[in-house]
Amino acid sequence: MSAFYPGALAVIKKASIPENIGRAATLVSATNERFIHIPDTHLVVENPSLWKCWIVEGEFVTKDFFGLDHTVSIAVAPEAWLMPLGGYTPSEQETRVLELTT
């Protein structure tokens, strides 16, 4: 069984915006589509390499066209950029996230 599944927790280990490294993410759904539609938004993320990606929930930093920071609660991350926290109970997952990020 994969350590990646909807509802599982993961830590972001690589990101195009460095402020997101080490942040916790809840996995929502996986896709390898070329254009990934982010639920409940009008945003589309292009995935030209067709990587396996996860729509994730959490608290993430994004930058707009002018380079200004914004906080969002849903994002897309390649699976290779995530470290799963599988095998832990929810409270153990929270503790593990704190250990990895502090």
Q: What is the pLDDT along the chain (102 residues), one digit of tens a residue?
A: 578 999 999 999 999 999 999 999 999 999 999 999 998 888 899 999 999 999 999 999 999 889 899 999 999 999 999 999 876 666 666 777 777 766
Would 3 be classed as within a structural domain?
Answer: no
**Residue 77 covered by a domain:** yes
Strands 44-46 and 35-37: antiparallel
Q: Is residue 87 part of a domain?
A: yes
> Which structural domain, as residue segments, surrounds residue 18?
9-101
If DSSP states are collapsed to H, E and C, what string results for the chain?
CCCCCCCCEEEECCCCCHHHCCCEEEEEEEECCCEEECCCCCCEEECCCCCCEEEEEEEEEEECCCCCEEEEEEEEEEHHHEEECCCCCHHHHHHHHHHHHC
Provide the number of structural domains found in the chain.
1
Q: Is residue 46 part of a domain?
A: yes
Does residue 2 form part of some domain? Answer: no
Strand partners, 82: 12
